[in-house]
Structure 1
């Protein structure tokens, strides 16, 4: 199985501050870190580190070439990353002393993707291959519809969750991955309801999709038809939660493609996420297959 992850590629600018800046306030930062980001890029890195064959589709400006090289270094095929005369996607992140953040996003190349580029990329994939998507680029509905016509399996991560999710052809999605807040929103529930209740409503609402619900310290839940599974977290000291969900998705899909059953894949994914949060950074913290599949 080949994976095509058509997703975001961002430059993250992380400012360490005492507190998130208030309106009209000027605040000095104690540190500035420039790093690779974007949920799409993180998930491609996770898939590659887990040993899957993954191709990344997307768009960057000249300022994003270092991101392309980084993905390549992890084993991601970047043949379908286009370049254009504009800016790569940007995330300006304020990180306060309590590790809480505030983020301003600029779409850049993620919003400059064209349908003709999607059409050309999809000609290289066929039935049995998997398309991986998030909610950070344009033309997601088009991607879902065109990939389904080719017989591809479609995995959608609903992050970041907003009103656009409800407008997507979710009935065509094969694997729907959500966190507990996104799951409750899509199910029309309050965020403090039991996770199993959220799972049951989503299974009934999307009967053709496998539902994967990540729930932080409560682990992960899975529902499809009459199957219900739960995997606990892999308990590690938490240093940085950035990219934990992306790590989970990459390892879940990779484990399944390697022939592991769903329950085993859930446990491997929780282990990979636990290892990831015990280190700083996003892509850099994602463990390699030898650390997880053992």
Structure 2
């Protein structure tokens, strides 16, 4: 099973602060870290570290060469990432004393992807391959429809959520991944704490999709038709939650590619996410396969 992740590639600027800045407020940061990120790139790194065959497609500026080198070092095929004269996507991340984050995104190359580039990339993939998507690039609807025409399965993480996601052809998605906030948005529910109601609403709205719902300390749920599977978190000391969800997705998909059952895949994905939050950084925090599958 091959994975094509058509997703974001970002340069992360991480500011460590006492609390998330408020309107009109100026804060001193105790540290500044420049690192690789983007939900797409993080998920590709997680897939590769988990031992899956993964190709990443997207677009970066000349300032993003170090990102390509880093992804390659993890085992990601970056031959479908194009370089242009603009800037690479940027993420300004505030990390507070409670290890929670707030993120501001600038799309950069993630917003400069063209449909003809997508066509040239998809020519190399087809039946039996899986397209992995997030909500940080343009032309997602085009990607979903054309991947399905080629016989590919599609996994989409609807993050970050905004109302435009409701106009996407999500009924074509094979694996739909959301947290409780994103799930509530898709389910048109204001209450995000009633995760069981969110899960059931999503199952009803998207009956052809396998639903993965992550709910923080409450663990995660898998739902498809009449099947429901729950798994608790791996409770580890929290240092940085930035790439927890991306790690979960990468390890879940890689576990399924290994032939694991749903329950086993949730177990490995939860373990990997628990290890990731116990370490600083995004890509760098993602554990290696031998740490998770042993």
Structure 2 unaligned blocks of 5 or more: none
1:116-135 aligned within 5 A:
116-135=116-135
Structure-2 separation of matches of 1:277 and 1:133: 22
> What is the RMSD computed on CA atoms of the aligned residues?
1.4
Q: Sort the Cα spacing of 1:271 and 1:100 in 2 relative to 1 into closer, same or farther, 3 A.
A: closer
Q: Deviations over 1:191-233 (max 9, x none)?
A: 3443222111111110000000011111110110111110111
Match of 2:199 in 1: 199
Pair 1:189-2:175 in alignment:
no
State the aligned residue count: 294
Do 1:180 and 1:191's aligned partners in 2 also have CA atoms closer than 8 Å? Answer: no
- 1:232 match: 232
Consecutive unaligned residues in structure 1, runs of 5 or more: none
**1:61 and 2:65 aligned:** no
- Contact in 2 for aligned 1:185/1:191 (Cα 8 Å): no
1:34-73 CA-partner distances (Å, limit 9, x unpaired)? 0111000000000000000000000000100101100000
Instruction: Quote the offset at 1:281 in angstroms.
Output: 1.0
Instruction: Say if 1:167 and 1:34 are closer, same or farther in 2 by CA, change over 3 A.
Output: same
CA distance in 1 between counterparts of 2:206 and 2:194 reads 19
SS at structure 2 position matched to 1:116: helix
Aligned counterpart, 1:147:
147
In the alignment, the residues of structure 1 paired with residue 254 and residue 24 of structure 2 have an alpha-carbon distance, to the nearest angstrom, of 47
> What's the CA shift for 1:22?
4.7
Q: CA deviation at 1:186?
A: 1.2
Could you tell me whether the CA contact under 8 Å between 1:6 and 1:132 is conserved in 2? yes
Say which SS state the counterpart of residue 241 (structure 2) adopts: coil
Q: Partners in 2 of 1:215 and 1:19 — Cα distance?
A: 23
- Counterpart in the other structure of 1:271: 271
So what's the TM-score if we normalise by structure 2? 0.96
Distance 1:150 1:104 in 2: 35
What CA deviation, in whole Å up to 9, does each residue of 1:145-192 have, x standing for no partner? 000000000000000000111010011110000001111221122334
The more displaced of 49-58 and 10-19 is 10-19
For 1:173 and 1:159, locate their aligned partners in 2 and report how far apart those are by CA, in whole Å. Answer: 14
Contact 2:101 2:242 in 1 (8 A): no
Contact 1:20–1:94, Cα closer than 8 Å, also in 2: yes
Contact 1:52/1:254 (CA < 8 Å) preserved in 2?
Answer: yes
